[in-house]
Amino acid sequence: MKTENTVWHMHQVSKHDRASLKQQKPCLLWYTGLSGSGKSTIANAVDELLFKQGKHTYLLDGDNVRHGLNGDLGFSDAERVENIRRIGEVSKLFVDAGLIVSTAFISPFRADREMVRKMLEEGEFIEVFIDAPLDVCESRDPKGLYKKARAGEIKDFTGITSDYEAPLQADIHIKTDEMSVIESAEKVVQYLDESCK
Ligand code: ADP
């Protein structure tokens, strides 16, 4: 910790106040899964459904964060941990602002996802496992990354040359080889409706 002499200011307007004004329960929907499993697609579909319900949301997606906030980070084990830690901290601030936040990152390691769960309050972190077999993800290959990984052009590629640790008890489990995008998005929204009752 390099911040021994800084003091945390208590805000006059609390998280609860901000959430009440927005008439919603802030939370973090943490999408995890292999590249091409459908994290971005489903997170965007959920975001759209929530927006139409009048909810205040924000979506943090893999590539835009890698270009900006985490532009200095590569894909070594240490840099992957730091990538997730920063995303977790930023998400926590957005949750504090009263928003329903979604993040779409492979986040292959259980320990890193648990690190983020611990940053948030009980019940705020919702792990959404976007599950599809590797061969299905590889046949979709929306960004051509599997092709490059198989050709040896990308090292440490999750599912090929780097592990993916599937959640043991995800809060929401979606198999995108069995469900459509809209069915999947509705399942997430239904979970939120039920957990907010
Ligand atoms: P990720 O964010 O996990 O890397 P993307 O959402 O970028 O994955 O890409 C998933 C691809 O799979 C998209 O081209 C999407 O249209 C396609 N796809 C086909 N069926 C589904 C489904 N049921 N759910 C999500 N994506 C699907």
Number of domains in the chain: 1
Give, for ligand 1, the residue of 34, 39, 41, 128 to mutate: max count of ligand atoms closer than 8 Å to Cβ.
41
Q: What is the pTM of this model?
A: 0.93
Q: Could you tell me if residue 15 is inside a domain?
A: no
Please give the pLDDT value at position 178: 98
Q: Which domain, by its residues, includes 117?
A: 25-195
Whether the per-residue pLDDT at 7 is higher than 60: the answer is yes
174 forms bridges with which residues in the sheet? 130
> Phi and psi (nearest 5°) for 104?
-125, 90
Task: Show the 3-state SS of 130-145.
Answer: EECCHHHHHHHCCCCH
- 10 pLDDT above the threshold of 90: no
- For the range 64-67, what are the long-range contacts, defined as Cβ-Cβ under 8 Å and sequence gap of 24 or more? 65/105
CATH number of 180's domain: 3.40.50.300
Q: Kindly report which listed range (56-70, 144-158, 159-173) carries the lowest average pLDDT score.
A: 56-70
**1: confidence class by pLDDT, cuts 50, 70, 90:** low
Q: What pLDDT digit, counting tens, does each position of 82-108 carry?
A: 999 999 999 999 999 999 999 999 999
> Does the beta carbon of 38 sit less than 6 angstroms from any atom of ligand 1?
yes
